[in-house]
Chains A and B, each alone.
Chain A
Amino acid sequence: MVPRVWSLMRFLIKGSVAGGAVYLVYDQELLGPSDKSQAVLQRAEEVVPPAMYQLSQYVCEQTGLKMPQLPAPPKLNFHFRDTWNSGILTVMSALSVAPSKAREYSRDGWEYLKERIK
């Protein structure tokens, strides 16, 4: 009797957790149109870092530990276009100066070798 009740309780708890996750996804429209996803990311960027900070403060107060200064949280609202454009510009400028830099480094290396051989 008790194991049966316990297995039923376990199934209900698991079902509640899974059902809650599905409802959360449905309520927040995470699998909806693409403009809603961008709004979700912006909302997450506003909400998540202060929540993490408050949680760390609460843990410090409860346990008495002193948390070290954590690095800044990563940016959630990522602009792919700006990063891609700046990446392309960096690569192209590196390619354009590559021959002159190679000549300069090889000349410096040759001078260094001549100094060492003397």
Chain B
Amino acid sequence: MSDSELGRKWDQCMADAVVKIGTGFGLGLVFSLTFFKRRMWPLAFGSGMGLGMAYSNCQHDFQAPYLLHGKYDKEQEQ
């Protein structure tokens, strides 16, 4: 992976993390205000979900060039 591509992936990861954590926090805020009597746990839950999703996306993006996709060949059994 070249340096510019690595930098581009890091930029994408950081932007993705900001958006997902913000979205999770926002959804948690809405649900906390509407259904859960202004408790703190929906905010923490939403932010944590967003962080986990962003981490998973980043991990997939960085591992993508090195993952091998195999195909099972049934003819070999015969």
Contacts and interface: CB of A to CB of B under 8 A. Distances in A.
Interface of A: 14-15, 17-18, 21-22, 25, 30-31, 33-35, 37-38, 40-41, 77-81, 84
Interface string B17-32: 0111001101100110
A40 B23 CA distance: 12
A116 to B, nearest CB: 51
B15 interface: yes
B23 A31 contact: yes
B20 A30 contact: yes
For the complex, would chain B's binding face be called helix, strand, loop or mixed by DSSP majority? helix
A34 B16 contact: yes
B19 A41 contact: yes
A37 B19 contact: yes
B8 A37 contact: no
B8 A81 contact: yes
Nearest to A80: B14
B35 interface: yes
A31 B34 contact: no
A81 B11 contact: yes
Given A18-B30, A35-B12, 9 more contacts: A17-B34, A30-B23, A34-B15, A34-B58, A37-B19, A37-B20, A40-B19, A80-B11, A81-B8
Contacts of B7: 81
25 contacts: A17-B30, A17-B34, A18-B30, A18-B34, A21-B26, A25-B23, A30-B20, A30-B23, A31-B20, A31-B53, A34-B12, A34-B16, A34-B57, A35-B12, A37-B15, A38-B16, A40-B19, A41-B15, A78-B14, A79-B11, A80-B10, A80-B15, A81-B8, A81-B10, A84-B10
